[in-house]
Amino acid sequence: MGVSRREFLKLAATGSGAGLALAGSVALGMDPEPVAAKTRQQKWKPEDTKQVPSVCPYCAVGCGQLVSVRDNKIVNIEGNPDSPISRGHLCPKGAATFQLVVNPKRQTKALYRAPNSDHWETKDLDWAMDRIAERVKKTRDENWTDTRDGKRVNHTLALASLGGATNDNEWNYVQAKLARSLGVVWIENQARI
Ligand code: SF4
């Protein structure tokens, strides 16, 4: 059924109230029944699953989560209504935890782009870790400051530590400890991008 813009606005204007809105939708050819029938056939996500109580990994609020597992695979993560902290609620970031563990786009290999190169190479994780350690040590050694203005500072201003949104609490804790022990001053973590 074709509806002109004018007819659509007229239907919308007269469709105050659920009944009228439904009548307007049907008049527009949007029968809700086929959609409802299709939705009813779909398996409810936590159906036939083992429910595992957990805690959102992202921030120190520690909201409770329920992880639904079917055939040893996570199929859903949602707020745990039994949590005394969050009572079933999750912020948008916590509500998206599922994609942290189940995500076909997740990078699982170390990629390296050499200086002046135009392509990425896949490397062993051990190789990548060694390379990072070498470069951090070299940069630190070459840019170490014992004293500044007659005061002992023991730091380097040539390194910075920036945590990402998918770093969890424990990772951020360890990363900040490591950076401070190396004498890094610029330490930041953004939690929401
Ligand atoms: S990131 Fe959001 S859901 Fe997770 S613990 Fe913090 S406030 Fe709660």
> Over the stretch 23-64, which tens digit does the pLDDT of each residue have?
555 666 666 666 677 777 777 778 889 999 999 988 888 999
Which among 56, 89, 166 is the best mutation to test ligand 1's pocket, defined by most ligand atoms within 8 Å of the CB? 56
174 part of a folded domain: yes
What are the structure tokens assigned to 53, written together? 């109580």
- Please tell me the distance between residue 46's alpha carbon and the centre of ligand 1 in angstroms: 21
45 part of a folded domain: no
- What pLDDT band is residue 118 in, cutting at 50, 70 and 90? very high
pTM across the whole model:
0.62
Report which ligand 1 atom has the smallest distance to the Cα of 191: 1
In this structure, which residue's CA is closest to atom 8 in ligand 1?
63
Long-range contacts made by residues 123-129, C-beta under 8 angstroms, separation at least 24? none
Q: Are residues 148 and 128 in the same domain?
A: no
44 part of a folded domain: no
